[in-house]
Amino acid sequence: MRLSGKAWALIALAVIIALAPLAFPSSFYYRVGALILINGLAVTGLVILFGYAGQISLGHAGFAGIGGYAAALIPIHLGVHPVFGLIAGAILSAGLAFLIGRPVLRLKGYYLAVATLGFGILVYLVLNNEAQLTGGPDGMSVERLGLRALSDALGLGLNTSQVWYWFMGVVLLIGAYLALNLFTSPTGRALRSLHDSEVAAGTLGVDVARYKLTAFVISAVYASLAGSLQALLNGFVTPDVAGFLHSIQWVTMTVLGGAGTVLGAIFGAAVLTALPQALTVFKEYEHMMLGLIMMVVMVFMPAGLFPSLAKLFRRVR
């Protein structure tokens, strides 16, 4: 039986997630692993927007903010299980993305960048200023999802970070599966035609505005879920989750890894989430190193780490 590229990608991802813990020197690395997988989910969404549809966003952390605070606030105010907060956040984000998507996506290039940036900052300001509701800049605590309790009840003997690592592994695989499916679907083909040339796609009868909006809404849902999951993992959320720097982090992960493919972006998420941990040995030189690495990678591997390394690997073979 011949497997499609899509299936290979998923199998590779599953194997890596399953085997990576063998290299973890201590259980702390499960937490880094869980964060990588959460960021991986967000950047999978961004691949749909950047890589498939060719649009930019510097404000997707805004949706993470909505997801994060929905997971925090809805259980408190409605007395429901946090999982409903996560779902409500995703619906809210989708709705908001739908509303602002149409006018925003008419803009191009840097104008699109500044408009999405503005959106992210608006969300951040609301979360930061409405202290009565959100706890202000110091943030608020979030009810537990109950994964640890579930694992204990099943007698798995895992600590919080471990439980979350395996849970997020499954979530990311589902997210990647859906994204890869989308890529080969008619919608995906339409989206990719936008990436190559919007005008040409329009001439051929592709409803450009509608497909761009679709990609925007889907990526917003991914970002929102990532925001919710991070809040639930930490049991705590601050407005920084919606901050400009968080948006930039995600963009960097996506582009550094390779914005064109899901695996590439997840690879970027892994590198940039783990890097600061590895760079702590440089103490005060940490930030300089991070900036330097970003520049060097993008200058010498403009397509991103993953495609460039894959090419190198093939050549060596």
- Cα-based distances in Å from 99 to 62, 71, 93, 194: 14, 22, 10, 21
Cβ nearer to another protein, comparing 78 with 311 = 311
Stretch that binds another protein, among 75-83, 113-121, 181-189, 204-212 (CB under 8 A): 113-121
Cβ nearer to another protein, comparing 136 with 178 = 136
**Per-position b or e across 95-123, b if 16+ CB within 10 A of its CB:** ebbeebbeebbeeeeeebbebbbebbbeb
Please work out the total of residues on this chain that contact another protein, with binding judged by CB under 8 A.
Answer: 92
* Contact status: 37 vs another protein (CB under 8 A): no
Stretch that binds another protein, among 70-78, 80-88, 215-223, 245-253 (CB under 8 A): 245-253
Cα gap 31→230, rounded to integer Å: 11
Q: Minimum distance from CB of 190 to another protein (Å)?
A: 18
Q: Taking CB under 8 A as the criterion, which residues in 1-20 touch another protein? A: 16, 20
Q: Minimum distance from CB of 136 to another protein (Å)?
A: 4
Q: Are 247 and 123 in contact (CB under 8 A)?
A: no
Cβ nearer to another protein, comparing 137 with 185 = 137
Cβ nearer to another protein, comparing 132 with 155 = 132
Q: Taking CB under 8 A as the criterion, which residues in 42-61 touch another protein? A: 50, 56, 58
Cβ nearer to another protein, comparing 2 with 7 = 7
Q: 236 - beta bridge partners? A: 141
Give, to the nearest 10 degrees, the angle between helix 244-257 and helix 305-316.
Answer: 20
Cβ nearer to another protein, comparing 34 with 78 = 34
Cα gap 160→82, rounded to integer Å: 17
Return all residues near 145 (Cβ < 8 A) that are at least 6 apart.
Answer: 82, 83, 232
Among the listed residues 76, 80, 83, 107, the single contact to another protein using CB under 8 A = 107
Stretch that binds another protein, among 167-175, 177-185, 208-216, 247-255 (CB under 8 A): 247-255
CA atoms 282, 283, 285, 289: torsion sign: positive
Among the listed residues 9, 10, 35, 48, the single contact to another protein using CB under 8 A = 35
Cβ nearer to another protein, comparing 252 with 261 = 252
Q: Strand pairing of 236-237 and 140-141?
A: antiparallel
Among the listed residues 1, 2, 79, 109, the single contact to another protein using CB under 8 A = 109
Q: Are 223 and 63 in contact (CB under 8 A)?
A: yes
Q: Return the structure tokens found at 193.
A: 């035609």
Instruction: Identify the CA nearest to 250 among candidates 280, 220, 293.
Output: 220
Among the listed residues 3, 4, 106, 156, the single contact to another protein using CB under 8 A = 106
Cβ nearer to another protein, comparing 1 with 284 = 284
Site string for another protein, 250-289 (x = CB under 8 A): -xx--xx--x-------x--xx--xxxxxxxx-xxxxxxx
Cα gap 308→78, rounded to integer Å: 49
The vertex-207 CA angle with 204 and 210, nearest 5°, equals 160
* Contact status: 76 vs another protein (CB under 8 A): no
Q: Taking CB under 8 A as the criterion, which residues in 178-237 touch another protein? A: 197-200, 230, 234-236
Q: Minimum distance from CB of 39 to another protein (Å)?
A: 11
